A and B are shown apart, each in its own frame.
Chain A
Amino acid sequence: MEGQQDRAVGSVRAWEAIVAICFLVFGAVIVWDSKRLGSAWGAEGPQAGYFPFYIGMIIVLASIANLISAFRMSREDGGKPFVMRSQLKMVLTVMIPCTIYVALIVNPVYSLGIYLASALFIAFFMRTLGKYGWAKIAVVSIGVVVAFFLMFEIWFKVPLPKGPIEAMLGFL
């Protein structure tokens, strides 16, 4: 990004603390659910929550230790940027199209099937990140998808979600 300063999105310390708290919550949920199921000794031996209860307790204790060490980090280590804004932008340029891609495969409104969605996904990447010409994009994306189709549907007989084009060609 020209002219604009690259800022950090949160420090390492902040993220250490956030993740430790997430672990803490996860551990607490396990403990709570195990208590609900019964974490003691039942009529026929250990109850369903017997083992997970201890697992949850260990997570809670370990994440408290992690939380403490996050706050005790030296200024130098803890103050380091967790991720720079430009880096996060790169990560999001992959994650967002990826999410849309998964949504396109199967959704309640209009499912494209995995093959068509994959071709579009590859084409999108090649266009936006690689700046390729449309001819090249068409060759690569269609070629890759056809190769996958042959491999999964024909060779290994593993059915994948299909959409309108496959239906047109008579594959179900």
Chain B
Amino acid sequence: MQEIQSLMGGFVVALSMKNLLLMLAGVSLGVLIGVLPGLGGANGVAILLPLTFSMAQAEGGATSAIILLSCIYWGALFGGAITSILFNIPGEPWSVATTFDGYPMAQKGEAGKALTAAFTSSFIGALVAVIVITFLSPVVARFALKFGPPEFFSVYLLTFCAFVGMAKGSPFKTIAAMMAGFGLAAVGIDTVTGQLRLTFGFMELLKGFDFLIAVIGLFGIGEILLTIEEGLVFKGASARLNARVVVETWKELPKYWKTSLRSSAVGCLMGIVPGGATPASFMAYGVAKRMSPDGDKFGKGQVEGVIAPETAAHAAGTSALLPMITLGVPGSPTAAVLLGGLLIWGLQPGPLLFIEKPDFVWGLIASMYLGNIAGLIVVLTCVPLFAAILRVPFSIIAPVILVICAIGAFTVHNSMFDVWLMLVFGILGYVFKKLDYPLAPMVLALVLGDRAEDSFRQSMLMSQGDLGIFAANGLVGSITTLALLLLFWPFVSQGLALLKKR
């Protein structure tokens, strides 16, 4: 069991006093970010990323930096449940399914029970996913060592086709948004030939668009504009969480072990495929509703209706990091921001990371275990505090969040141009959200654009321009086939539905 040994080594790294403190700080900040409107996992991590630049320079600093940022992510995942249950406002898209039963429970006066169930099942979902990561990621990484440019490009292709195949809305909108991300990524100096692309003589565009700015604008400013449009009034259920409620709920939870297990499986599976956390939570909710003997009571405040989506969302959100550390292909926007962090700190994500920086990888994996334990403790003890923050009037919260976004955008490159760009992306995010253009594939394309292009060009060089290289051997061929299948899935399923009608 080499993995166990490596993991123990990781715990030694993660258990230093400094890293434990960072974990606690990260989780608390993360919950706060998850609770506040307009700040979520992706842009929260994006805003705080520049603060780690100097931290990562020190010996072992990159590990501390990723621990801080990933713990913010865990915290944000936990925090989403608080707003969903108490205020019927999903903090993150994958918390939407939690509102279905969580808010009715809170209205019935069972907020404490709902919160405890949500936090505990989030923790279980994350734990299952981390165990999967621990044992699966070395295998995937070892396998991926054999990958050449064509294999990597086919994995990127699979990632992006999965978005089209699993999108709820129009596939063409997904394609348009995604390709716009690639287009924005191409702006600036071409790394191979050194020519200027799409800059049209503007000096500011030389270095291209930074995806961190896009994330802060699209998710942060855009979200605030949407919230304001709805004329936001917080009408929350009161949250009291005492030890007695927690213990009583915990006594009840083992009854639902089947739901937890099923939801964890759904979550892990969907998380490794990109874009998975949100569909995973809905899918787990649907499955639980169908399989449960109390299925018809769902939507009226059933504990199982909170357990299922929360377990799946956390399992998916956590396992989204598996392709990020093993292949360098992030499964979610937040994982994409973390990947951007690795690149900025000078680490090359991908299979070699396991060989070259074992301390970093295993420290990160160990911190996933510890971070989620820390998260569970923080949320169980501090719910009233976080709920109180939500009662701060919007006229104070909104400008403070906008200021935070502006500072975050500025610190990425110390440039005011980026702050202006953030405002533009904010308006874009608002319009796109209203018209159901998906933002996640756009951000992922912006992050992966250059890498995807490099692997495409290298493959083309290898084959002298013959696209057949993407089906040249069994491995790359099957990945490509799977990708194309996913890409055309919306059309296939539409066709099947039409045939059935006749």
Contact = CB atoms under 8 A, between A and B. Distances in A.
A172 B51 CA distance: 20
Interface in B212-236: 221, 224-225, 228-231
A125 B398 contact: yes
B396 A160 contact: no
A20 B172 CA distance: 10
B393 interface: yes
A142 interface: no
Contacts of A152: 407, 411
A54 to B, nearest CB: 9
Contacts of B414: 159
Contacts of B419: 102, 105
B132 to A, nearest CB: 34
Nearest to B420: A102
A48 B193 contact: yes
A41 to B, nearest CB: 6
Interface stretch (B58-66, B90-98, B455-463): B455-463
B181 to A, nearest CB: 9
A27 B400 contact: no
B395 to A, nearest CB: 3
A45 B195 CA distance: 14
Contact of A66 (B170, B400, B457): B170
A94 to B, nearest CB: 5
Contact of B225 (A26, A51, A95, A121): A95
B206 interface: no
B3 interface: no
Contacts of B193: 47-48
Contact of B229 (A15, A51, A87, A140): A87
A133 interface: no
B465 interface: yes
Contacts of B183: 26-27, 30, 52, 55-56, 59
Contacts of B434: 15, 82-83
Contacts, number: 164
B173 A66 contact: yes
Band of interface residues on A: 35 or more
A98 interface: yes
B210 interface: no
B54 A156 contact: yes
A110 B200 CA distance: 30
A45 B305 CA distance: 56
Interface residues of B, number: 58
Given A26-B180, A33-B197, A102 B423 contact: yes
Interface string B391-406: 0011110111011001
A30 to B, nearest CB: 5
A65 B172 contact: yes
B320 interface: no
A160 B410 contact: yes
Most buried by B among A51, A69, A101, A118: A51
B29 to A, nearest CB: 12
A140 B392 CA distance: 12
Most buried by B among A34, A45, A69: A45
Contact of B457 (A26, A34, A45): A45
Most buried by A among B228, B231, B414: B228
Most buried by B among A26, A125, A161: A125
A34 B197 CA distance: 8
Interface in B146-172: 170, 172
A60 to B, nearest CB: 9
B453 A51 contact: yes
A79 to B, nearest CB: 15
Interface in A44-99: 45-52, 55-56, 58-59, 62-63, 65-66, 69, 82-83, 87-88, 90-91, 93-95, 98-99
A1 B179 CA distance: 41
Contacts of A91: 225, 228-229, 430
Most buried by A among B230, B393, B403, B437: B403
A117 B453 CA distance: 41
A29 interface: yes
Given A15-B431, A50-B457, 16 more contacts: A19-B435, A26-B180, A26-B183, A41-B465, A45-B457, A47-B193, A48-B190, A51-B186, A52-B182, A66-B170, A83-B229, A94-B224, A101-B402, A102-B406, A114-B407, A121-B402
16 contacts: A19-B432, A26-B180, A30-B198, A46-B465, A50-B460, A51-B457, A52-B183, A55-B179, A56-B183, A58-B175, A59-B176, A90-B229, A122-B403, A125-B396, A152-B411, A158-B54
7 smallest CB-CB distances across A and B, nearest first, come from A130-B395, A129-B395, A125-B399, A65-B172, A62-B176, A62-B175, A48-B195
